[in-house]
Amino acid sequence: MSNTYYREEPVAPSFDRAPACPFDPAPEVTALRAEQPIVPLAAPEGAPGVWLVSGYDQVRQLLADPRFSSRYETQYHPVVGGHLPPAPVGDLTGMDAPQHTRFRKMLAGKFTVRRMNLLTERVTEITRERLDAMERQGPPADLVEVFAQPVPAMMICELLGVPYEDREQFQDQTRAVSDTGSPEAQYAAFIELGEYLRDLALAKRAKPTDDLLSDLATGSDLTDEELGGVAAFLLGAGLDTTANMLALGTFALLRNPAQLAALRDDPGLAAGAVEELLRYLSIAATGMRGVLEDVELGGRQLKAGDTVIIALNAANRDPAKFPDSDMLELRRPATGHLAFGHGVHQCLGQQLARIEMRVAFPALLTRFPALRLAVPAEEVPLRTDPSQIYGVRGLPVTWDRG
Ligand code: HEM
């Protein structure tokens, strides 16, 4: 299918963020949003149509419409220059109904209130342990290494029931996956972790313990391969995301001292502050869907076979939905943000992510009331690869010794 049916010249915006404000979406994308919340992108001759959707209403609408497919193989990737391969086994974000419905129901039934309550108790302890470690180590310290990465990694251990004796090695491997080391070392760690999780899942079948993976192993009809795949997917979905929210969120607070002080002085603000940080930062910045049949969206006619690129971060900054959208305002009602997605694929772990952030941010600011950057803000290393969850690769911080 060619893209010649467009009514105007396709655009090729830069997705680069402005160095002046690393928390903002790419200025060219937000500029388009005002006039053209859905716009055709330039694609090579003969390639399917590719659209950029950046308006809040249009993004929300398409995420709730089953005519937009999550299956990776329906999506044309303009940078790759071809269709994506199918998602790995167990990756819910690459499935459509009825396959997705089967996995989703199975998994949703295991994120129980009881399980979440148990995890709430653990996150308080784990956060305290990590803050103690940070205090012993510094100042200064790399917040990513001592706090933002280990807290969610330990929580994934709790969720999946990684035995205590394996946790140190598990932590090392998860660090190696998201590390700045060579791509080969990252890949090797990723494969090892996948193998470990598959073996763990099978061990839970034989000898269940009190954790979500055991519940899945014994209370679902997942095959061994699916069970291992789901475990690896949960690690991927729950670790990098929450770790980057904690680190980038702290960076954003340090750059907005009045907001930081408001949260530090009123921990009751935490729940609302977390929603606003999710909206403002939108670390899962973009997503894609394949168009299954001809469909109208935002006054545009999309064709079966087209692909949409969803700028979740730009949608969450749409002033039509959030007044003064580019301001971090912890007291604003940020409800309705799309940082966890929307529709049938909306994040299954959002409750857990919220529990972690509502505990971790206030605890960090209470323990280190004079926390500040240890380097100029421009020197904080950002994760600029658009295929990654957005965030920082390290966050050097310092404080006054008490
Ligand atoms: C702040 C942290 C997090 C953010 C920003 C986030 C964001 C997202 C987003 C945007 C999606 C939708 C993807 C799509 O529509 O294609 C999603 C899906 C998902 N997330 Fe999260 N997530 C976070 C934490 C977690 C955690 C802690 C877990 C579990 C341990 C988790 C598990 C999942 C799962 C299982 C899905 C797939 C749901 C489906 O496709 O039905 N996430 N997440």
Domain boundaries, the chain: 27-398
Nearest atom in ligand 1 to the alpha carbon of residue 104 is: 41
Q: Which residue(s) pair with 392 in the sheet?
A: 382
Q: Is the CB of 358 under 6 A from ligand 1?
A: no
264-315 per-position pLDDT tens digit: 999 899 999 999 999 999 999 999 999 999 999 999 999 999 999 999 999 9
pLDDT in tens, 16-36: 888 779 999 999 999 999 999
For range 394-402, the mean pLDDT = 92
How many angstroms separate the alpha carbon of residue 68 from the centre of ligand 1?
A: 18
Measure the CA–CA gap between 72 and 96, rounded to whole angstroms. Answer: 10
How many other CB atoms sit within 10 Å of the CB of residue 127? 23
Is there a contact between 371 and 365 (Cβ–Cβ < 8 Å)? yes
The kind and range of the H/E element at 300 are: strand 300-302
Going from the C-alpha of 94 to that of each of 103, 288, 299, the distances in angstroms are 11, 10, 27
pLDDT digits (tens, 9 = 90+) for 35-62: 999 999 988 888 999 999 999 999 999 9
* Bond preceding residue 319 cis, omega within 30 of 0: no
65 burial level (CB within 10 Å; 0-12, 13-18, 19+): middle
Please report where in the chains the tokens 């295991």 appear, as a residue. Answer: 110
Q: What is the pLDDT of residues 200-211, one digit of tens each?
A: 999 999 999 999
Residue-wise pLDDT tens digits, 88-109: 999 999 999 999 999 999 999 9
């071809």: which residue's tokens? 82
135: CA distance to ligand 1 center in Å? 31
Q: Would you state the structure tokens that stand for residue 311, as one six-digit string?
A: 């700028």
- The answer, yes or no, to whether residue 348 has pLDDT greater than 90, is yes
CA of 282 to the centre of ligand 1 (A): 12
Which distant-in-sequence residues (6+ apart) come within 8 Å of 109 by Cβ? Answer: 219
Share of the chain above pLDDT 70, in %: 97
CA distance 208 to 231: 15
CA of 166 to the centre of ligand 1 (A): 25
Give the integer Cα–Cα distance in Å for 285 and 264. 27
Q: How many CB atoms lie within 10 A of CB 398?
A: 16
Instruction: Encode pLDDT of 256-271 as tens digits.
Output: 999 999 999 998 999 9
Q: In the structure encoding, which two tokens stand for residue 91, read together?
A: 């990756």
* Among protein residues, the one whose CA lies closest to atom 17 of ligand 1: 347
Which listed CATH number (3.40.50.80, 3.20.20.450, 1.10.630.10, 3.20.20.70) goes with 27-398? 1.10.630.10
Average pLDDT rounded to a whole number, residues 104-123: 92
pLDDT of residue 8: 62
Task: Please state, in angstroms and rounded to a whole number, the distance separating the CA atoms of residues 75 and 288.
Answer: 7
* Mean of pLDDT values over 85-90: 94
Mutate to test the pocket of ligand 1, among 241, 280, 354 (most ligand atoms within 8 A of CB): 241
Q: How far is the CA of 351 from the centre of ligand 1 (A)?
A: 10
190: CB partners within 8 A, 6+ apart? 177
